Structure 1
Amino acid sequence: MIRNLFTSRSISVKALVGTEAIFTVIPRKIAVELQLPVICRRRATTVKGVTELDECVGMVEVMGRKAYSHILVSDGVDIVLIGSVTLETLGLEVEPVTGRLKESKT
């Protein structure tokens, strides 16, 4: 789930864990639907090269755990990608054998 911290707007989404992604990335249509305010633009390396993406702050909930997270907004993705910063903040990590999320040991 992704939630706008300043309104009651939230949306439940299916997401992938981007093991190479630092920040969580969402499609622009979700950011527009949630009315997430842009706080700045951030340079990011994507599969298409280096670009600037809008950056927002929101709440991300995964497996019942909630965390404030910096979220990048992209026109080039159609699914939510959970980045490593968000995973660490949530206290989750990827189990390398199964590829599933689990509680981190730290």
Structure 2
Amino acid sequence: MDERPIIDLAQLERQTMDDQALRDEVLGMFVRQLEDALRDIGAEPQGARDHGALAHQILGTARALGAFPLAQAADCLDRNEDRGALDDFVRHLKEARAEAQRLLEAR
């Protein structure tokens, strides 16, 4: 089990320079990106899309914002697209989306 936080708040604060308005804007964009990714995965029949390419798109944003477990799952799927990697990626997408939404609502 991964003991790291879903979103590392220290990393998020560094990237947003402790600017709360910027933090909320970035988190909102991140939520939309994750929702789009989940919708894309759900809309495609299994094997009809290169999910690794989608994971690669998420990878950089997740790293920058401190969503390190999601970044690791995205990297794994990007390098090794199999059903287990896809399932893990989807689980981390959902967790990161929920955590980002929670952080937005806590304001």
TM-score (normalised: structure 1)? 0.27
Comparing both structures, which one devotes a greater share of its residues to helix? 2
Comparing both structures, which one devotes a greater share of its residues to strand? 1
| Structure with the larger RCO, 1 or 2 (CA within 8 Å, 6+ apart) | 2
TM-score (normalised: structure 2)? 0.27
